[in-house]
């Protein structure tokens, strides 16, 4: 059976961001042509700065974008830990995305209530389907191999049906968060990890060469593709894989 995983290595961080943005442009174009909307899930952390650099060069119908959060921290929007807050700060005035195009998690609720509330928001957009199917998820990888707020050894890795789950014991602060679960992640049409820098080279080897049982390796779309976009520095320990 053909693998659903594609690995690409690019010389520099800038080349990597350019490639990521080519994917975003092409995937958004196709989705907008087919359904007049583009549904994208975004992660937090280092990805935000990369998107702030690359997105201004993307040719797309920005008004057709609906932006969801792969995970979010339960903190006020003006807290530096808020992923939505960080996107607003990084992208406002940089790309013409209006505030109502972001599907936000409600940080005034408890993690449990915020997860239920977010499921309601997804149902309002995707309808009463068994699982939502995002056009694109932009995923990150933490130094411990976590993605979204799905951490190594956590019981949430076993979730099989709930779309969005609360977590109140995140090993990475802040502890209270909500996250998409693997059934939803693996129902996306395309997922892209964009990883750069020597600091992630060891973990990239463990994930892509040694194929360790880590959360990022649970990303395996049922009917879609997962791309791993790396720069030379992150790929140094792959030995040309
Ligand atoms: O806590 C989180 O970490 C991961 C990875 O972040 P990075 O800064 O190492 O790229 C991120 O993908 C996730 O959305 C975030 O909540």
pLDDT in tens, 198-232: 999 999 999 999 999 999 999 999 999 999 999 99
ipTM entry: 0.98
Beta carbon of 179 within 6 Å of any ligand 1 atom: no
Asked if pLDDT for residue 2 goes beyond 90, the answer is no
Beta carbon of 175 within 6 Å of any ligand 1 atom: no
- Average pLDDT over every residue of 93-111: 98
CA of 33 to the centre of ligand 1 (A): 31
pLDDT digits (tens, 9 = 90+) for 65-93: 999 999 999 999 999 999 999 999 999 99
Confidence grade of residue 1 (pLDDT, cut at 50, 70, 90): low
CA of 44 to the centre of ligand 1 (A): 5
* Residues 6 or more apart in contact with residue 103 via CB below 8 angstroms: 66, 67, 68, 69, 118, 121, 122, 125
The atom of ligand 1 lying closest to the CA of 177 is 16
CA of 22 to the centre of ligand 1 (A): 22
pLDDT digits (tens, 9 = 90+) for 118-176: 999 999 999 989 999 999 999 999 999 999 999 999 999 999 999 999 999 999 999 99
Q: Distances from the Cα of 81 to the Cαs of 95, 120, 147, 179, 201, in angstroms?
A: 22, 24, 16, 15, 25
The atom of ligand 1 lying closest to the CA of 200 is 9
The atom of ligand 1 lying closest to the CA of 147 is 12
């Amino acid at each position: 059976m053909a693998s659903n995983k594609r690995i690409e290595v690019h010389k520099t961080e800038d080349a990597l961001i350019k490639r990521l943005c080519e994917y975003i442009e092409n995937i958004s174009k196709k989705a907008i042509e087919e359904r007049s909307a583009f549904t994208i899930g975004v992660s937090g952390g280092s990805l935000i700065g990369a998107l702030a650099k690359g997105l201004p060069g993307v040719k797309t119908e920005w008004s057709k974008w609906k932006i969801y959060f792969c995970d979010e921290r339960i903190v006020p929007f003006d807290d530096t830990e808020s992923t939505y807050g960080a996107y607003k700060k990084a992208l406002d005035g940089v790309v013409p995305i209006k505030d109502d195009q972001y599907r936000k998690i409600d940080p005034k609720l408890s993690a449990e209530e915020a997860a239920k509330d977010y499921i309601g928001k997804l149902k309002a957009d995707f309808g009463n389907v068994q699982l939502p199917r995002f056009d694109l998820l932009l995923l990150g990888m933490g130094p411990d191999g976590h993605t979204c707020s799905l951490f190594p050894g956590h019981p949430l890795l076993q979730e099989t049906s709930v779309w969005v789950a609360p977590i109140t014991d995140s090993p990475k602060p802040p502890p209270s968060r909500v996250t998409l679960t693997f059934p939803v992640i693996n129902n996306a049409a395309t997922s892209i990890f964009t990883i750069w820098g020597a600091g992630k080279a060891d973990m990239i080897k463990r994930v892509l060469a040694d194929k360790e049982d880590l959360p990022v390796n649970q990303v395996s779309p049922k009917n879609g593709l997962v791309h791993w976009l790396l720069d030379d520095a992150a790929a140094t320990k792959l030995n040309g894989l």
